[in-house]
Structure 1
Amino acid sequence: MEAQDAAAGEGGETKHMNMIEAINSALDCMLAKDDDVILLGEDIGYFGGVFRCTAGLQEKYGKTRVFDTPISECGIIGVAVGMGAYGLRPVPEIQFADYIYPGLDQLISEAARLRYRSAGEFIAPMTVRSPFGGGIFGGQTHSQSPEAIFTHVAGLKTVIPATPYDAKGLLISCIEDNDPVIFFEPKRIYNGPFDGYYDRPAKNWKGREDAQVPEGYYSIPLGKARTVTEGDQLTILAYGTMVHVAEAVCREKGVEAEILDLRTLVPLDIEAIEASVERTGRCLIVHEATRTSGFGAELSALVTERCFYHLEAPVERVTGFDTPYPHSLEWAYFPGPVRIGEAIDKILQD
């Protein structure tokens, strides 16, 4: 946990937090530290957000720093672009990642290009927060994983935490960054890690080192992967919820895998990926989003290009299916223990 060690001594006393509390703490820290930080979004003020990530912040900082908006994702993101160009650091919340599509033109045509179009005269230092992924039976309109759309856009950064500790440190770094960032929060692990079994409730974060979060300010640099477990049998690349599923599968199968939590997809820690795959000779990629043109395809291409002569088996992917997101069948849609286990067996047999 190199990044955590690097931040040791920063942030003061630690406190056990789940991911919701860690995100709230990050926003609290930045609102107190920088008067230019503004929070906006649907129901984030008085109500505190649909998942309570902004609870208490409007009462503490006032309605000019934390305020509700109309139900208009295009308007929310468009206003944030203007705020950033003016000199503020807006943090707009899109209530679910599925609702972000009306704001794509503002993100792609305006936020991502502003620095380049203005030759550096204007920037868009905005962090778009949004819960993403499945696990709550939200169906097609509350469960999508659209990260690959944003990793394709030059000028945008894409960040996905997998632990409370990382969620706070990465969010602080995003808010302080001068470029627009998409910060996706895996809602299935808001309250605890998830091992991928339908008949096992998600555990809470109690007793875990990665849930001991400094109460004060600290940051984790973007573009640095985290080594979750060390091993020499294969490398597993994952992010968000799938980090915990992969870890549970390897633990139950007794597989010594080196699991890398990518944490940031753009910028990507390709050096860590390359070093791990060269050491293990095998690579499995796991993500919840649909397979075709998912971010796993880019990872597979990069690993093949850079590590071809070190590979002892083809790169494998375990992903969501190329179907509209199912409601009642979402647990079959997830990359679960069975499919991940079969992929591991196939790689190790080659």
Structure 2
Amino acid sequence: MCSYDLPVEMFTNGEAAVIRAGGSNTVAFQNQGVDAVFLPYFGQDGEKWLLTYPAFQVALNKDLEKDNTRREKALQVLSVMLSEDGQNTLAKGEDVITYSQNVELQLSPYLENLKPLINQNHLYIRIASNDFFAVSKDVVSKMIQGEYNAEQAYDAFDAQLKQPKEDTAATVLTIDRTYSNVFHQNGGNEAYSVMANTLRGFYGSDVLAAPAYSFTGSVFKADYSEKMTGNMITPNPLCAWQSEMTGEQLKELVRAYVEGYEGGIAPFNRGALPVVSGMSIEVQEEGGKYTLLRVLRDGREIGDEDTFKVTCLNIPSYFTSFLEDENRVFEKEEDRVKVAWTAYIKDGGTLAEPENYITLK
């Protein structure tokens, strides 16, 4: 499967006439000098429709029903957010469509042609859930193979969504204490350290390096189901690579994770600094920039000639520059980190203890 970068490149080079994109992409293309226009979907009857992605979603705590004063205050805040001023503030100048009939949001000139569809309420709303995606993939695949026509696909889609689910809430992991998700200047993120140390043990490596976006947040004192366990790993295509490295190569790798590198995401605040396991790092912060000072193992600065079995976590598209480095040989683990992590815990794996892995100066 190719990445989305390829069709975008073909479109901007004039090699593709149409691609699937959004309103913000249209504005970006125009700013790049590409004569692009945003088109709706066309139905068989000639009707035109827009596919919309809900971007402003609100959840109110059910306990508000027990306290009228708090409930009224919450509804007042919600009312302000849904007002014309509130929605325009939340839109921040982006092309946003409102479902409120008494609110007018400004569209960029490139999307003005869509106003008639908005006024007619010819809007599809994208519903995002794992169940929805799985059923969609099944019925659309069968339409492509000729097993379903549109009506049969709709009936199958409806039937599968209504089918009772199996009970998958059985406990696979019990955590006896909560680990903080707050970044500390002397120590780092306790919850992320638990995750990184556990994965280092699972992969059998000496040290492990991971971007902060590998993990999703706090580790709570609770009983975890299989689904909850999987959700401890970020829902992007996070993968693991193994390599034998010298100390010199390891320091170069960690420096790239700390200071940023071509094709990757540079840490933009303290919480975005990488997480390491089996070693510790000293980092200098100055003017919003981060510089690696030292890499230590067992309290001793590692030597250039030392050798280590290293595990790197990253998203494939962000790891390309490392894979293209002829001085290193990486072996990719077959399963994504989320899959491997869930299987490990489900099979009785336990969490490792956190470590102080960073000192920020």
Q: How does the TM-score come out when normalised to structure 1? A: 0.25
TM normalised by structure 2 equals: 0.25
